[in-house]
Chain A
Amino acid sequence: MTGRRMPASARGARRRRGWGRAAQYAALLCYLAFLAFPLLWLVSTAFKSPRELGSVDPSWLPHHPTLDNFRKAFAEQPLLHAALNSVAVAGAAALVSVAIAVPAAYATVRFRTAVGRAGTVWVLVSQAFPLVLIIIPLFMVLKVMHLIDSRPGLGLVYVVWTLPFALWMLQGYVRAVPVSLEEAAAIDGCGRYRTLRSVVVPLLLPGLVATLMFSFVTAWNEFFFALVLLKSPEKQTMSVILTHFLGAEGAADLGPLAAASVLATLPSLLFFALLQRHLVQGMLSGAVKG
């Protein structure tokens, strides 16, 4: 019906659109390649045998996938211990950070006080300072408190480190709680804290879990503070242990290095898969709507 009667200009437009589509798919393909190939290479390296790794003409996928590299990785470095350290430090830090961020987020959204506003700005500003400027005095302060080379000391730093984004995300979720519900609770005779506990927090729960996971991932992935603040090998976290595979000369055993890297990424990746939707929402409410 449309074919024959269609005016030439419309047909041209449709052909142009067809070309446009093709170009879009080509561009998407380039992006997919750029994003995926390094990842594919990392995973593939982790499963290759030493003979394949030494090959002059390396293949994209391992011909004989093996778990040897994982076994060797655990033998070469205290991976399990490092993972437990990371879980303990990042987990505790995330819990504390969210626990103190919830009331703060509520207060900054619901009461427009000068302190709240200053706090929000500070949280943003503090992210912008080069870490050298913070780490040197922090190192000195923690030394006085005997919290250098101590996991609780690092955890304490991570609480403050994860707080800004936790606060940011939670502010978005608090804004989404209808004020009318709180007013209804107030009319029913609930006090401020009772309202917070029995009306606001239950509604925040999904956002709370998302924030908790995000804070955990942030702390699990962190490298700089752990590098400076922890010295003993048995206290090291995952990120720092990974760099030990690189050796002093950078002549690393590639297989175990890749295997350990894959393992170190799994927890973060798992949480991110669960978080995907929330993150996009969090960014929406935090960054775009202001």
Chain B
Amino acid sequence: MSRSGPATHRDAWFLLLPALIPVLVLSVGPLLYGAALAFTDAQSGVRHSTTFTGLDNFRALRLDSLFWQSFRIGLVWAVCVTVLQLLLSLGLALLLNRNLRFRWLARTLALVPWAMPEVVIGIMWRLVYNPDAGVLNNALRDLRLTDGTTDWLSSMSLALPAVIVVGVWAGMPQTTVVLLAGLQNVPAELHEAAGLDGAGPWRGFTTVTWPALRPVALSVMALNFIWNFNSFGLVYVLTGGGPGGKTQLPMLFAYAEAFRYGQFGYAAAMGLAMVAVVAVLLAVFLRNRLTREDG
């Protein structure tokens, strides 16, 4: 179909239009509007009239230590979850790529978290972490590792790590599937050649597997980081941002600012601050993807 000309272009427009209109009205439009709101004092009440305030929101935001604390927590959470996700998923993908028994079971189980509603994952882990009736404390008590009374999600020092474990669990399926697909694209002859040259498993991995997998791994890491940094539902259900704001991800913070205190303009400014972080990662991802498309 290499025909091109005015007729073909009109056809393309007609085919694209039904998708383009809702995207413009409910995605592009709101995003631009949202970015513009960051420069106003918009509030949730109808009575209040919105005025343009320039950089006032950002000046206030710069001094808002609570927001920056939340921002730091968001970065720690996103980096930890993303890195652990990649390492664990890579291990699992390598195992699933082998001819092991019970592989089907792991394959099936690895997909389950993907199918589950975020809210259910949160609830499920609350049951696991439950200080009295939870299975984690019970198991630790049985193994005589702790006295089994740890209140994981209410502890100032343990809440964030506990929540990070859940984040890793929830995001493993997609990462594993993508990495497994990448592994299956590594030509088998390369492995054989490396084997003949006497390379052990580790040498084989570093010289053959990883170079072939690297672009896929980088892309999936960039996407995971963005998703994790913007994540909301999981932590909302697990801790609601507590204890004492120790798990207050920036999305939770901005949500409260917008829909509990009604400060739409200020919350939008927070959103823009988050975009700055995400934009860098997105650039990495897109460059990676586009160079692969052209190559």
A residues engaging B (CB < 8 A)? Answer: 20, 24-25, 27-28, 31-32, 34-39, 41-42, 45, 53-58, 60, 99-101, 103-104, 106-108, 110-111, 113, 115-116, 119, 121-138, 140-141, 156-157, 159-160, 163, 167, 179, 182-183, 192, 196, 217, 220-221, 223-224, 228, 238-240, 242-243, 245-246, 250, 252, 254, 257-258, 261, 264-265, 268-269, 271-272, 276, 279-280, 283-284, 287-288, 290
Contacts and interface: CB of A to CB of B under 8 A. Distances in A.
Contact of A28 (B22, B100, B226, B240): B100
Contacts of B233: 223-224, 239
Contacts of B279: 128
17 contacts: A31-B92, A38-B124, A101-B19, A104-B15, A111-B12, A119-B19, A119-B20, A128-B282, A134-B31, A136-B42, A136-B267, A137-B37, A159-B26, A220-B117, A265-B120, A271-B115, A290-B289
Nearest to A167: B19
B211 interface: no
B115 A217 contact: yes
Contacts of A20: 201
Contact of A269 (B9, B30, B115): B115
Q: Which of A35, A56, A245 has the most chain B CB atoms inside 10 A of its CB? A: A35
Given A39-B124, A42-B124, A32 B102 contact: yes
A248 to B, nearest CB: 10
Q: Which of B42, B120, B220 has the most chain A CB atoms inside 10 A of its CB? A: B120
A54 B30 contact: no
B8 A111 contact: yes
A58 B135 contact: yes
Nearest to A262: B120
A163 to B, nearest CB: 6
Given A223-B117, A239-B117, A115 B251 contact: no
A138 B27 CA distance: 8
Contact of A129 (B92, B101, B267, B278): B278
A189 B220 CA distance: 44
Contact of B37 (A101, A104, A136): A136
B127 A254 contact: yes
A221 B177 contact: no
A19 B26 CA distance: 57
A135 B282 CA distance: 21
Q: Which of B22, B185, B293 has the most chain A CB atoms inside 10 A of its CB? A: B22
Q: Which of B16, B18, B219 has the most chain A CB atoms inside 10 A of its CB? A: B16
A284 B181 contact: yes
A283 B109 contact: no
Interface in B25-55: 25-31, 33-35, 37, 42
Given A20-B201, A100-B22, A115-B16, A42 B127 contact: yes
B31 A128 contact: no
B26 A138 contact: yes
